[in-house]
Amino acid sequence: MGDSGNVSTARLIAFPGAPNLPIFAAQALGFFERASLDLTLETTPSSSVQMQRLIGGQFELAATAFDNVVAYQESQGAVELPEDPDLFVFMGATRIELSLVVAPQVRSFGDLRGRPLALDALATGFAFVLYEMLEHAGLSIVDCELKTVGATPQRWQSLRAGEAAATLMIEPFTSIAIAQGFRVLESSRERLPRYQGGIFAARRGWAAAHRGALRAFIEGYLDGLSWVYDPANRDEAVEILLRRMPAIEPAVAPKVIAKLLTPDTGLTPDGAVDREGMRTVLSLRSRYASPTKRLEAIDRYLDLSEYSAVRRARDPRDAGESPRA
């Protein structure tokens, strides 16, 4: 898909979760249409499926983890690819907080020894954050049973069914789990204060040929993000979130929104990237990934030119990156 007359088209594949709220809002309120973009959104069951579909051309855009882009660009992903992935990050999304949610009977890291832990994939996504938590607690990955389950909904189901003793979660699943008697053993922010979680990615070849579609997506997303951050829209934002994610109990929604709108635990203001948080991702991947590589060059994975151009067009005083980027 690409540009069709004056209207561009694009397909976005994303993980299920509350961080999609700006996209939900932009769709509901017509912000993408106003930017002349016909956007379709689908969710993915796992990072490997998402990356294969993005790289294979079934989708043009992905809301994914920065770690996934690095993993597949460095041939460290969960699946081998027949060609150069050609991926790059064009906008930030979240400095996400990952919560290690455990079964009610688990009281300490020691209780996880020999128990199954649910992951999206063993070498992508947020697996390395979990490995860092275990190592700091005096455990290693060989002390636990690592199970590849899929995205957060599948991991939550595995935990709830008693098939796993722990898993990493994002909102709203963390709050849903706590409301049902599960507990948070540790937050990623306790070990990793700055961590670039979600970003938006595309293939360089597609982006070069469809700059209009890429800019339209950025513009629509930033409109949705600004709308979500406006306190005057809080009640309607909650309604949109509950409508798109009916598994969230209304009583839990305010806590989910509060986490989402706190920059250190949720959405990144202005869609900026957090370079220090990206360095954390590269440091973890340098330690835990295979084949071993020393990764330090953040700009190898970025091209923020279209993002910066959209921000300058919205406000000529805007340099295109936030003060904390």
pLDDT band at 318 (very low <50, low <70, confident <90, very high): low
Mean pLDDT of the chain: 92
For residue 66, tell me if it sits in a domain: yes
Final residue belonging to a domain, choices 157, 173, 191: 191
Each residue's pLDDT tens digit, 123-148: 876 899 999 999 999 999 999 999 99
For residue 319, tell me if it sits in a domain: no
Please count the other Cβ atoms lying within 10 Å of the Cβ belonging to residue 141. Answer: 15
> What pLDDT sits at residue 319?
56
For residue 16, tell me if it sits in a domain: yes
Does residue 324 carry a pLDDT above 50?
Answer: no
Q: Are residues 202 and 307 in the same domain?
A: yes
Q: Are residues 130 and 153 in the same domain?
A: yes
For residue 320, tell me if it sits in a domain: no
Q: Are residues 220 and 81 in the same domain?
A: yes
Q: Are residues 76 and 8 in the same domain?
A: yes
Q: What CATH number does residue 168 fall under? A: 3.40.190.10
- As a whole number of angstroms, the distance between CA 100 and CA 167 comes to 6
Question: Are 168 and 149 a contacting pair, CB within 8 Å?
Answer: no
3-state secondary structure of 204: helix
Does residue 165 carry a pLDDT above 80?
Answer: yes
Q: Are residues 199 and 88 in the same domain?
A: yes
Higher per-residue pLDDT: 318 or 228: 228
For residue 123, tell me if it sits in a domain: yes
- As a whole number of angstroms, the distance between CA 274 and CA 196 comes to 6
Section 238-267 average pLDDT: 92
> What pLDDT sits at residue 323?
37
Each residue's pLDDT tens digit, 196-228: 999 999 999 999 999 999 999 999 999 999 999
Q: Are residues 83 and 129 in the same domain?
A: no
Q: Are residues 30 and 51 in the same domain?
A: yes
SS (H, E, C) 134-159: HHHCCCCHHHCEEEECCCHHHHHHHH
Q: Are residues 134 and 214 in the same domain?
A: no
Q: Note down the domain range covering 119.
A: 99-191
Domain count of the fold of the chain = 2
Instruction: Please give the helix or strand (H or E) that residue 67 lies within, else none.
Output: helix 66-73
Final residue belonging to a domain, choices 156, 191, 226: 191
